[in-house]
Amino acid sequence: MHLAPALAAKALRPRWTGLVPFALAQVLMDTEPVVRLVLGASRLHGPIHSLVGAVVVGCACTSASRLMKVSWQSALVGGLFGTVSHVALDAIVHPDVPLFWPWTGNPLYLSWAFWPMHYFLAAVILLAVLLWVLLK
């Protein structure tokens, strides 16, 4: 579901949005909760799931994407948009996301939003694919 914003951006601004850096950003962002789950941590989302962490990981994705011959613009937009949107979407549906780390609290969390968010993102994916097909 995290790919929904990238697909929408790619449909609207294809040369600006890199799907490879965006997808790389999603994988790198979710390594933190996976590692924390394996280690038995009480919180699944840590500093990487903050705005500071998102920018750091986004810059790493940008650099890695440049090694794959992705343009600077596409790598930067894909990497940073990928990590920041990931954190924002997770913050809405997970109470333990430390959005403004090192400070605690998550002002974006909505306890009722888990399933509505997924339905919304599924609709965005369908609309993005439709828009992409129509614009091609």
> Where in the chain are the domains?
13-110
Q: pLDDT for 28-61, tens place per residue?
A: 999 999 999 999 999 999 999 999 999 999 999 9
The 8 Å CB, 24+ separation contacts for 94-101 are 94/44, 94/45, 96/43, 96/44, 96/45, 97/45, 97/49, 97/50, 98/45, 98/46, 98/47, 98/49, 98/50, 99/49, 99/50, 99/51, 100/50, 100/51, 101/46, 101/47, 101/50, 101/51, 101/52, 101/53
pTM above the 0.85 mark? yes
